[in-house]
Structure 1
Amino acid sequence: MSGFWPVPDVLAYLAGGWRTERTVRDLESGAEGEFSGTTAFGQLEGGGLLSRESGTFVWQRVPRPAERTLRFLPGATPGTADVRFSDGRPFHGLDLSSGHHVADHPCAADLYRGEFTVLDPDRWRTVWRVGGPAKDLVLTTEYTRAPDDGLRTPS
């Protein structure tokens, strides 16, 4: 798979701090927004990582604070993750052993399809396509390892 960076252990790869830049495009209206901030993957008691994203989301020229918390738990096979919302509800599985993964998450009548691509040891990307009666969006997020990150566990 050309252009992908294989990751044998997704939790080890993600651990630490990342700069986070996201574009949000509403395909129906043409409106666009952007998020700029950080994502910190810290150790969870009992194993796994707690992902805390925080920054500023600008939509229709109005900036507002934004944050999100997810849990990345050890997956069913070594090196994979089971991604859950902060309240413990399932979100999706994650296997980056090939450097690329596609995951689906049904949400009411909408479907979220996420494509995860590892570009190199310090950069990865997600593209979520959200379609259904309530939403028609594309969310593209670029993650770059924070230069002052001393928390990284080698992968």
Structure 2
Amino acid sequence: MDAWWPVADVLAYLAGRWRVERSVRDLAGGDEGAFTGATVFGPLDGGGLLHEESGHFTWQGVTRPATRTLRFLPGEAPGTAEVRFADGRPFHDLDLRTGRHVAGHPCAADLYRGEFTVRDADHWRTVWRVGGPAKDLVLVTDYAREA
């Protein structure tokens, strides 16, 4: 996709509830999994958004409940965000003012590289490539705003 939808303020854009569909592929082993659920970006005390994701993850034929919590804080530049794990550790920055952003995150021996693209007012996507001695994964997540 060559045309992205610019977002002037990432926190204002993300606020609300989104349907989530994620595919997970293990490039080394060939396994594939899927997550389906919802993400809510709600107000965070002190500014920013609390990202709460919940749903079900299926891997190797077994489906389990899955949750994730992140904090999206105002970034250094207006309209951007700083994403942190629930415990406050830094994850990555996020700047969607052009409609596309690439971020990286080293995690132990692995490197996470994320590409964020906005398709329109109600749809965006992340593609995370995870590589390292123990991981060779691609995670593609599509978000669709709920009314």
What TM-score do you get using the length of structure 1 for normalisation? Answer: 0.94
Matches within 5 A, 1:134-153: 134-147=134-147
% identical aligned pairs: 73
d(CA) in 2 for partners of 1:135 and 1:8? 35
Structure 1 residue 2: Cα displacement: 4.0
Q: Secondary structure at the match of 2:125?
A: strand
Q: Secondary structure at the match of 2:36?
A: strand
1:84 aligns with 84
| Distance in 1 (alpha carbons) for counterparts of 2:32 and 2:2 | 31
Aligned to 2:104: 104
SS in 2 for 1:63: strand
Q: Which residue matches 1:28?
A: 28
Structure 1 residue runs without a partner (length 5+): 148-155
| Separation (CA, whole Å) in 1 of partners of 2:16 and 2:105 | 25
RMSD over aligned CA atoms reads 0.9
Aligned residue identity for 2:32: E
Q: Deviations over 1:49-76 (max 9, x none)?
A: 0000000000011000000000000000
TM-score w.r.t. structure 2 length? 0.99
Give SS of 1:46's match.
coil
| Residue of structure 1 equivalent to 2:62 | 62
Corresponding residue of 2:42: 42
Stretches of 4+ aligned residues off by more than 4 angstroms? none
Q: Tell me what 1:152 maps to.
A: none
Per-residue deviation at 1:28?
0.2
Pairwise CA distance, 1:3:
1.3
